[in-house]
A = this chain, B = another copy of it.
Amino acid sequence: MSAQDFHAKHAEQLDHAVTAIDAREYWSPFPETPSKSVYGEDAAPAGEAAFKALLGQDYPLDQPGILEHVGTEVSPFGLELGIRYPRSEPAELIAAAKVGMIAWRDAGPAVRAGVALEVLHRINARSFEFAHAVQHTTGQAFVMAFQAGGPHAQDRGLEAIAYAYAEQSRQPRSARWAKPQRKGDPLVMDKTFTAVPRGVSLVVACNTFPTWNTYPGLFASLVTGNPVIVKPHPGAILPLALTVSIAREVLTEAGFDANLVTLAVEAPGKPIAADLATHPDIRIVDFTGSTEFGDWLESNARQAVVYTEKAGLNTVVVDSTDDYKGLLRNLSFSLSLYSGQMCTTPQNILVPAGGVRTDAGDRTPEAFAADLGEALDKLLGDPARAAGTLGAIVNDGVKQRLADAETVGAVAHASTPVEDPEHPGATIRTPLVVRLDAKDEETYTREWFGPISFVISTDSTEHSLDIFRTSVQAKGALTASVYSTDPAVIDAAREAALTAGVHLSENLTGGVFVNQSAAFSDFHGTGANPAATAALTDPAYVTGRFHIVQSRRHVPA
């Protein structure tokens, strides 16, 4: 198919997406259910077979500057992966990226969006293959790997495409300007407005959500006309190698240069992100990962516009509830999902010393922590089901942090190993809950990435809100949540969240969890606190990726 065909094929969905980002109601273009009725009879076994065929092989990716093939991935589930990826000379990737840039610019936003949508649809058709790739690089359990690594990531990608297309389409392609004159005919000019790309874009991906956190930047940059170099985390290359392969395949079919999208793999133990991100020809950087490196990029990649999603102090303010069981069920699932290895998992749970007023009586911080521990035990009592929620520990850093966290306070719920009958080699751990006091701020104002949460005793809910506001203003957060039956407390929590610049979930006791955000409705991050410089995705996330350049001329009389 040609580029125009791709645009025509997806035009209706693009229009729908543009409507959806403005309405922010429910819309999920890519079905999240890994079922045969949606993805076809053969999709599951075909996806598994495609994944297995890659194991132990040189990954087939024909791009410029290949120096050698390297393999750095280790499955948290113990599967031997042994895939070796082509490692290219970064300077050659940058040079190659620029070759096709003018043709890509000249194609215009609509054609670019069509090509990007075709990429997403081909990714979607291979969601089972992606699910295995994500599972065995991140440690997510299979169903989560399918959903978060597949359709949910694809939804976010489409959301980015919609914003990129909409913002470039705001100005007309041309306009006639006619200025009345006091005497005689008006002054008339024709004007042309062209969206021009900022330049070569670099996406630095993370270990835990290689697709979900990469697709917004990748597609936002691509649709605004920029070539994209994808730098995967050395522990999670496959999901992005697949993505890059598909993008190159579609670009080629559409008549564009495949090198508009390339993969920048690093040699074992030799990070390349810092050098790449500060290269003068890299003009856009998207990063998900540690606060330390994110801050470094913001300070040092001065030639680029830098979008970072880092870490923060996700906070829960517990004041009162009329559904204590629902609260405990919801919160214990939030702590357990993917072993708390989400940038959105709650860490600091603030409980007034005077106790939480509940429909099961008042609960002191100590009692509350014990109840939360019991809820975790109940949720994770069956090993097979527990493994399906917890997934596996992604790397040794998380294990070390767990060991450290056990010593900082009174352990209310110990982190214990879980045996997954399906994956005997996996490292699986239940969440650790430690009790702290409000004065232990040296401990809880650091981020403890992994299944580590603190029940923190405060003087009062007012004190809790104060800690929430000041700690998030200082250190950032991606999520916040409040439980209260008192409208005045809810109002105060909303005010604190607005001041701290963090999204707030209120009284979650059902099937919505604070660590999950829905594309096309929930914003992920705000840009208003130190945890992230941008939301994924909104207009601010795309407007810096292109510029409008105009030309004007008199209209012949």
Q: Which residues of A contact B (CB under 8 A)?
A: 22-26, 28, 33, 102, 105, 167, 170-172, 175-182, 186-187, 189, 191-194, 196, 198, 298-299, 302, 494-495, 497-499, 501-512, 518, 521-523, 526-528, 535, 538-540, 543-544, 547-554
Contacts and interface: CB of A to CB of B under 8 A. Distances in A.
B175 A521 contact: yes
Given A22-B171, A175-B24, A498-B105, A548 B522 contact: no
Given A549-B498, A549-B502, A196 B528 contact: yes
A191 B172 CA distance: 32
Contacts of A198: 528
Contacts of A506: 551-553
Contact of A177 (B26, B497, B540): B26
A22 B28 CA distance: 29
Given A172-B24, A544-B540, A548-B526, A521 B554 contact: no
A81 to B, nearest CB: 34
A213 to B, nearest CB: 19
A36 to B, nearest CB: 14
B187 A512 contact: yes
A280 to B, nearest CB: 12
A510 to B, nearest CB: 6
The 4 lowest CB-CB distance pairs between A and B, nearest first, are A540-B543, A528-B547, A506-B553, A504-B551
Contacts of A505: 551-553
A187 B526 CA distance: 24
7 contacts: A24-B175, A299-B302, A494-B551, A502-B549, A506-B553, A508-B554, A526-B549
B554 A498 contact: no
A22 B548 CA distance: 13
Contacts of A299: 302
B509 A554 contact: yes
A22 B172 contact: yes
A38 to B, nearest CB: 12
Contacts of A509: 554
* Copies of this chain in its oligomeric complex: 2
Given A503-B550, A504-B552, A539-B543, A194 B25 contact: no
Contacts of A501: 196, 547, 549
Contact of A507 (B33, B191, B554): B554
A192 B490 CA distance: 13
A421 B102 CA distance: 55
Contacts of A24: 171-172, 175, 177, 191, 193
A26 B511 CA distance: 53
A182 B502 CA distance: 31
Contact of A497 (B512, B535, B551, B554): B551
B26 A179 contact: yes
Contacts of A182: 33
Contact of A191 (B193, B302, B522, B539): B522
Contact of A539 (B25, B170, B508, B535): B170
A171 B172 CA distance: 21
Contacts of A28: 179
Contacts of A170: 22, 539
Given A22-B172, A187-B511, A526 B547 contact: yes
Given A179-B518, A540-B544, A528 B553 contact: no
A548 B538 CA distance: 9
Contacts of A178: 25-26
Contacts of A105: 498
Nearest to A180: B26
Given A506-B552, A547-B528, A23 B175 contact: yes
Contacts of A191: 24, 521-522
A31 to B, nearest CB: 11
B507 A551 contact: no
A441 B367 CA distance: 77
Most chain B C-beta atoms within 10 Å of own C-beta, residue among A180, A196, A298: A196
A522 B521 CA distance: 34
Contacts of A539: 167, 170, 539, 543
A54 B528 CA distance: 42
A508 B551 CA distance: 12
A23 B518 contact: no
B553 A507 contact: yes
Nearest to A505: B552
Nearest to A525: B547
Given A24-B175, A299-B302, A535-B548, 15 more contacts: A22-B170, A25-B177, A28-B179, A105-B498, A171-B538, A175-B521, A497-B549, A504-B549, A507-B553, A509-B554, A510-B554, A523-B550, A538-B548, A540-B543, A544-B544
